[in-house]
Structure 1
Amino acid sequence: MTGKTHYLICDIDGGPCGIAWTAAGVVRFQLPGNDAATTRRLLLRRLPEAEPAEPSPAVAEAVAMARRYFAGEEVDFSDVPLDLAGQSDFFRAIYEAARRLHWGETTTYGALARELGAGPEAARDVGEAMAKNPVALIIPCHRVLAAGGRIGGFSAPGGASAKLKMLALEGISFAPPEPAQQSFGF
């Protein structure tokens, strides 16, 4: 992280979310939780030195974009400035590739690894990067799925059900499989 860290807890559809930033950009985004105290605790668990503050114009715009996103409006977070200091070069490359996924678009851990020129074993590394994503939503890890297009895990509050809800906002559904063909009965 670059410099002093500030944070804000704000209400959006789905509950209170948290955002933390430095002069370089957003360093953490906490997806909506059940209550402001829990959201604050989760945000500060990784950033205990952060201090509450009024957002900079760029952070205020990121919050406005998050509000629009959770209200169901198509939003592109790819221009939100981030502070990913402390992340490995490979994780930063993974995050950059994930940021190119647009509203309603998904990929898999393996496909993202291949896009980066890494072998199939790197799919686990992509999964690890997604699990450790410090700015969920802004880096759209919810759009990265497990092999075969399965939902996979999600480390945010609500787990995989939160991931499903976010994808549903974008028009992506995971309908249950059709029932097996029934016998004709003769």
Structure 2
Amino acid sequence: MAGQGYTIFDTAVGRCGIAWSQAGIVGVQLPEVRELETRRRLLQQYPEAREWRPPEDVQAAIDGIVALLNGKPVDLSDIPLDTYDIPEFNCRVYEAIRRIPRGETRSYAEIAIHLYVSGAINAVANAVARNPFAIIVPCHRAITAPGQTSGFAGNAGIVTKSRLLSIEGARSGPATNLFDALLSVSAPRAQ
């Protein structure tokens, strides 16, 4: 097989797409409302790709994505990615995000600090926004600030980001509920 291939596959959240080259996965497309739209978006990003039966390593990636979206604890961090056209900084961000454990999140600021570029919060956010490897590079685990599920969520939006975090068992809301927050504000302070 020469060039890029792609396929569409079923998951618990809908029909996803995946594209690959000989070097590894080049992109994952989360489901759109209809399969036709998922396919169209994938082909807009990878116009040279042809629909093929996935090779064994790509099928293993598909199986891992399907299992993760079914709530199974799967580690996708060893799936090879084709990062040929990806800027070096973005690759560093994606590697950092791949190391975030299932069920946990990190803020853009925490990722920037981890990369020793604490002033690069916007650059981290931009890399997350351009992540072509949805699920494999779990950018749903990258959030604007602790306790918030806001931040870039791809074409699928914040609802899908929250759903992915929920599937993984991550807390997706503020650290305290509204009652506890109000109680701590109105409670008398000891002197």
TM-score computed with the length of structure 1 as normaliser = 0.90
Partner of 1:8: 7
- The equivalent of 2:132 in structure 1 is 134
| Corresponding residue number in structure 1 for 2:17 | 18
Alignment map for 1:58-69 (pairs within 5 Å): 58-69=57-68
Q: Is the 8 A contact 1:133 1:141 kept in 2?
A: yes
Q: C-alpha offsets along residues 40-93 of structure 1, whole Å, 9 cap, x if unaligned?
A: 011111111111001010100111111111111111110101001111111111
Deviation at 1:35, TM superposition (A): 2.0
SS of the residue corresponding to residue 26 of structure 1 reads strand
In structure 2, distance between residues paired with 1:51 and 1:119: 41
Give the letter aligned to residue 36 of structure 1: E
Moved over 3 A (4+): none
Structure 1 residue 33 corresponds to structure 2 residue 64: no
Give deviations 1:78-119, integer Å, cap 9, x for gaps: 010100111111111111111111211211100100111102
Q: Do the aligned residues in 2 keep the contact of 1:7 with 1:50 (CA within 8 Å)? A: yes
For 2:40, the aligned partner's letter is R
**Residues 1:107 and 2:121 are matched in the alignment:** no
DSSP-derived class of the 1:157 partner? helix
In structure 2, list runs of 5 or more residues that go unmatched: 187-191
Partner of 1:78: 77
SS of the equivalent of 1:75 reads coil
The 8 Å contact of residues 22 and 83 in structure 1, kept in 2 or not, is answered as yes
Gaps of 5+ in 1: none
Report if the CA contact (8 A) 2:153-2:160 is conserved. no
Is the 2:18–2:28 contact (alpha carbons within 8 Å) kept by the matching residues of 1?
yes
Deviation at 1:175, TM superposition (A): 4.2
RMSD over equivalenced CA pairs, Å: 1.7
Correspondence for 1:97:
96
Residue of structure 2 equivalent to 1:145: 143
**TM-score (normalizing by structure 2):** 0.88
Which residue identity does 1:31 align to in structure 2?
L
Partner-residue secondary structure (3-state), 1:124: helix
Whole-Å separation in 2 of the counterparts to 1:86 and 1:157: 21
Checking the alignment, whether the CA contact within 8 Å between 2:64 and 2:74 is kept in structure 1 is yes
2:162 to 158, 161, 164: 164
What letter matches 2:61 in structure 1? A
Q: Note closer, same or farther for the CA distance 1:157–1:88 as it changes in structure 2 (3 Å cut).
A: closer
More divergent stretch after superposition (155-164 vs 21-30): 155-164
SS at match of 1:147: coil
